[in-house]
Structure 1
Amino acid sequence: MKTIYLIIFIIVIATSGCVEKHETANLSIVQEPDIRENDTAVIVAIAPVVSQKESYVYYEDMIQYISGKLGGPVRIVQRRTYQEINDLVQNNEIDFAFVSSGPYVEGNSRFGMRLLVAPEVNGKTTYNSYIIVPRNSSYTNLLDLRGRRFAFSDPLSNSGKLYPAYRLFLINETPESFFGKDEKGRYNYFYTYSHDNSIIAVAEQLADGAAVDSLTYDYMKNTKPEIISKTRIIEVSPPFGNPPVVVPKDINPFLEKKLKDILLNMDKDEEGRKILSRIMIDRFVSINDNAYDTVRGMREEIK
């Protein structure tokens, strides 16, 4: 198993070697052209909070459930980055999307992305950013990672980029100045484009540290304890509003209401409860935009 993870991350890291671009390999498994052409299905986009294969496993039953309640097909669209998902929402190429809090704040500010619902997990509608390191390392806080190799998840991620960058901003540092460059002139930070990939990078000591979504980390405690057991948490951020389900500004109001009703009532029937339980969600709830003010505030300060 370790060999498999190493092969995956050697590919990711090797292809991110350009000094200034901080890019990784295109991990997309779905790249649909002309999404709306002759397509009558309701289309949902899933942001790569976890890697795309894992996203399908995580969301497949829920999407089938929504399809059944709508009485018609629902098609999943995936992309490699949060920005690509935001572009689909902005261009009205999809009907609703599962996104993270950072992309929501960005999309709401830029083009009016709207909240539909958010998950409640363990009785809370908030999550945290975890700074994690290898279990056998001596690091005790983010400042110990100066000059070390660090994994961010996505440039638009709140827990996987904005929060740790904000921590550095408060001490007059940037990721570039704090993590520095290696002997070949490449920056010591890189993007994995999903939180589970960041966790694996730390577990296999391909990164000395990473910033990850607490929801993904806690989910993997149950589903992949052999990976989590190789890591430990050294810092926990303040709480942020949970990653929401969103819709485009110009969505059909009838479809918006139908989708919201389905999600808000999912915990009230046996099939829905079983699906939610498998992915460790209590229920979906309505959420106010001000739940994301902390993210918005960090974003404004760091600009």
Structure 2
Amino acid sequence: MHPEKNVVPLLIILFVITSGCLSNEATKVNLSNRSNDFDSSSDSESLRIAVSAIISPDETLIYYQDMFDYLSLKMGVPVKLVQRKTYQEVNDLVRKNSVDAAFVCSLAYIDGKDQFGMEILAVPIVRGEPRYYSYIIVPDDSSIKSLEGLKGKTFAYTDPLSNSGKLSPEYMIAQLGENPETFFKLTFFTYSHDKSIQAVAEKMVDGAAVDSLVWDFKNATDPGFTSRTKIISKSPPYGIPPLVVSKDIDPTLKGKLGKILLQMHEDEKGIEILDRIMIDRFSEANDSLYNSVREMKKVVSDAKRKDT
């Protein structure tokens, strides 16, 4: 551990205290749970869907509310939104069958698949493909033009199980022949991509890695923060974050929910909702869609061991 890595600029400390936006990776600051969290115990009268904190809790409610209302109408039962602060906590809900389905990150899916047989129910198709990217962003007036220029700077990650917000930038660093754990002076977890965008826009950190789907959506609908950032690097395409279920889900429920999602783009109300959240439609997907993420995970693991 380099001593200078423990020196947190005063401005960042104030930002952490006042906004709850960032969490120091080394000290694992425990932020208050702002999510609208319903009881996730067994409830045969409702459909429980968890959403990983890809965006912040308040934004999640706005983004998913119409879709959940639509699913409730089609399923004939209330749909309950279950939120947790971290991707791992959402994976745990699926593993324990505490929820019926969950929207998770690509890396979180891989871990869930390997550890307890998590299954893909459907994936979003965006701009004609089931793929997305990791963007490296900096303030719009920054002189930094590449990831290499962020060496020795402060950087915001999203979540330990985030592909676009953690694994992908670490892979990019490994490709430079560097150790991801020593490349930056200081790193944080924000626990949502919109908070990472905000942190960069407000110049609380020098850079961040964010989900292209989130940055593009915010830039199209509410560019207050994205307009104050710029993209300096774009990753190769990755398998898009899927909607998953437990391997132990009731087959009838799985089939009914899957059918509704796969046919959503054929319904006038469904089209309206999908257009609003910039999704073409939902589709079936094969696990092989995520092989590139698996390969990156191995490369990053090897790079971190190199200097130990």
Question: Structure 2-normalised TM-score?
Answer: 0.89
Query: How far apart are the structure 2 equivalents of 1:289 and 1:245?
Result: 12
2:132 aligned partner: 127
State the match for 2:254 in structure 1: 256
Q: Secondary structure at the match of 1:123?
A: coil
2:141 to 128, 136, 140: 136
1:151 aligns with 2:151: no
Partner of 2:27: 21
Query: Structure 1 stretch 218-227 or stretch 204-213: which is displaced more?
Result: 218-227
3-state SS in 1 of match to 2:176: coil
Task: Indicate the residue corresponding to 2:222 in structure 1.
Answer: 224
Deviation at 1:90, TM superposition (A): 0.6
Pair 247,147 (structure 1): closer, same or farther in 2 beyond 3 Å: same
- Give the corresponding residue for 1:184: none
Note the C-alpha offset of 1:146. 1.1
**What SS does the aligned partner of 2:49 have?**
strand
Q: Is the 1:131–1:235 Cα contact (8 Å) retained in structure 2?
A: yes
**Paired residues for 1:51-70 under 5 Å:** 51-70=56-75
**Identity of matched residues, %:** 47
Question: 1:14 and 1:140 mapped to 2: Cα distance?
Answer: 25
Q: CA deviation at 1:227?
A: 1.3
Q: CA RMSD in A?
A: 1.9
* Equivalent residue in structure 1 for 2:182, among 177, 180, 184: 177
Q: Offset at 1:10?
A: 4.4
2:58, 2:78 → 1: CA distance?
21
Aligned length: 289
Change (3 A) 1:134 1:302: same
Q: Which residue of 2 aligns with 1:202?
A: 200
- Conserved in 1, the CA contact under 8 Å of 2:51 and 2:103? yes
Aligned-partner Cα distance in 2 for 1:286–1:130: 26
Unaligned runs of 5+ in 1: 1-5, 181-187
2:112 maps to 1:107: yes
Q: Give the drift of 1:11.
A: 3.3
Secondary structure at 1:225 match in 2: coil
Q: Secondary structure at 1:57's aligned position in 2?
A: helix
User: Residues 37 and 117 (structure 1 numbering): CA distance in 2 closer, same or farther, change over 3 Å?
Assistant: closer
Match of 1:185 in 2: none
Residue ranges of structure 2 left out of the alignment (5+ in a row): 1-12, 302-308
